[in-house]
Structure 1
Amino acid sequence: MADEQELAEIQRRHWQHTYTAHPGMYGEQPSAPAVHAAGVFRKAGARDVLELGAGHGRDALYFARENFTVQATDFSATGLEQLRDAARTQGTAGQVTTAVHDIRDPLPLPDASVDAVFAHMLLCMALSTKEIHTAVAELRRILRPGGTFVYTVRHTGDAHYGTGTAHGDNIYEHGGFAVHFFDRALVDALADGWTLNEVHAFEEGDLPRRLWRITQTLPR
């Protein structure tokens, strides 16, 4: 069983290789959670969006087309290069900035500087419970009062939960990809000090993957 640092580096290399071997692997259409989040953000009056784990950018580019200013981060430089190329092609390069960033590290952003944050299946990567809590605390720091966080995670009702290679802390690996499966207690703990607006169950993909879409906001 790999330790946390070793597992993180293995996953970084795996994603870098995956984006290199399969450019634009998720297609150009936005994810359903991103479409939902855009409506939530617009209703909240958000103008700028930080997307964590943006990959090659299908959701970040959608937010830009919806007239948000977007900051997109990912730990794959290859994925972000594909995102920038697509932004130039779509004419949204002026609305999108990118930064290589590992969610385990502090964000290079000032306090209370972002209206909204979106993360589709990033927090359920190969992160320990402690690292997840630290990441969400960092989002609380950079969000403005009243800011909104929409994220999705695979949960313990997923077919892959409890199978494959076990790494401890509810992390299981299949096909080279390690996933931290969330239980409801973790969702509730991450919302401590926030308003938990919604925990919506949905399915995605062929397995299908079973996920929650969580919306939470900071007090004003």
Structure 2
Amino acid sequence: MSEHEPELAGAQREHWQRTYGEHPGMYGEEPSEPAVHAARVFRAAGARKVLELGAGHGRDAVYFAREGFTVQATDFSPVGLEQLHEAAGAQGVAERVATVVHDVREPLPLADGSVDAVFAHMLLCMALSTKEIQALVGEVRRVLRSGGVFVYTVRHTGDAHYGAGTGHGDDIWEHGGFAVHFFPRDLVDALADGWQSQEVHPFEEGDLPRRLWRVTQTLPR
């Protein structure tokens, strides 16, 4: 992905706006398995303030709030975040959830060391170039406090959709209007440089099934 980056990014933003609008609450209200794992890890680390990147309509953000965390939820889809806000209100946790429309290609709108934990379920494997992913992980590192925890998931190159559909270069493949950056293991390892890498856990999700890694890593104190 190079000269076509802005076009692909814009198309994906429109895709998600349309998808959330046509399918409100499309992932249901139950939290994802990675979010359940992350809540355990965050609690063990003494985290209170959680940043979720790519929160969508909020099943995981609302779950974190129900678990007692204060959550800053970001997404580039205003439609998804409106649904998140409604869900937080309906479940009585609106006071613990703040939403911000934000594209992760831009610097995170947070101060240095201002959050205890960061969660991103399949956000890093959206239509982002390797350079953009590296910059984003640098931003995550900047906003985390010393000893903070980062849990993220990505589809990897062992997934059935890798190599299928329209190729955009840089391991990005578009299938059914949805573009994914499939991660090779060496990219996960490169992103862990300077962190305390605790776990790279393979798992499957959905009917295909999608094949992913769940990565848990801690910022050194």
Q: TM-score with structure 2 length normalisation?
A: 0.99
Q: State the Cα deviation string for residues 25-65 of structure 1 (Å, max 9, x = none).
A: 00000000000000000001001100000000000000000
C-alpha displacement of 1:115: 0.1
Q: Which ranges of 4 or more aligned residues in structure 1 deviate by more than 4 Å?
A: none
Distance 2:198 2:65 in 1: 25
Amino acid corresponding to residue 93 of structure 2 in structure 1:
T
Give the secondary structure class of the aligned counterpart of 1:40. Answer: helix
Distance 1:46 1:140 in 2: 15
**1:191 corresponding residue in structure 2:** 192
Distance 1:119 1:79 in 2: 15
Alignment of 1:127 with 2:128, yes or no, is yes
C-alpha displacement of 1:70: 0.3
Q: State the Cα deviation string for residues 131-178 of structure 1 (Å, max 9, x = none).
A: 000000000000000000000000000001111100000000010000
Give the secondary structure class of the aligned counterpart of 1:98. Answer: strand
**2:67 corresponding residue in structure 1:** 66
Amino acid corresponding to residue 95 of structure 1 in structure 2:
R
Instruction: Give RMSD over aligned pairs.
Output: 0.8
**1:31 corresponding residue in structure 2:** 32
Q: TM-score with structure 1 length normalisation?
A: 0.99
Distance 2:56 2:127 in 1: 16
Amino acid corresponding to residue 102 of structure 1 in structure 2:
D
Give the secondary structure class of the aligned counterpart of 2:107. Answer: coil
C-alpha displacement of 1:88: 0.8
Distance 2:10 2:46 in 1: 38
**1:104 corresponding residue in structure 2:** 105
Report matched runs for 1:20-99 at 5 Å. 20-99=21-100
Distance 1:162 1:156 in 2: 8
Amino acid corresponding to residue 194 of structure 2 in structure 1:
G
Distance 1:53 1:30 in 2: 14
Distance 2:6 2:131 in 1: 13
Unmatched tracts of structure 2, length 5 or more: none
Distance 2:114 2:132 in 1: 22
Distance 1:163 1:90 in 2: 40
Give the secondary structure class of the aligned counterpart of 1:72. Answer: strand
Relative to structure 2, which stretch is displaced further, 143-152 or 1-10?
1-10
Q: State the Cα deviation string for residues 156-211 of structure 1 (Å, max 9, x = none).
A: 00001111100000000010000000011000000111011000000000000000
Distance 2:143 2:98 in 1: 17
Distance 2:43 2:82 in 1: 27
Amino acid corresponding to residue 7 of structure 2 in structure 1:
E
Distance 2:86 2:9 in 1: 27
Identity fraction in percent: 77
C-alpha displacement of 1:13: 0.3
**1:157 corresponding residue in structure 2:** 158
**1:9 corresponding residue in structure 2:** 10
Give the secondary structure class of the aligned counterpart of 1:202. Answer: strand
**2:176 corresponding residue in structure 1:** 175
* Count of aligned pairs between the two proteins: 220
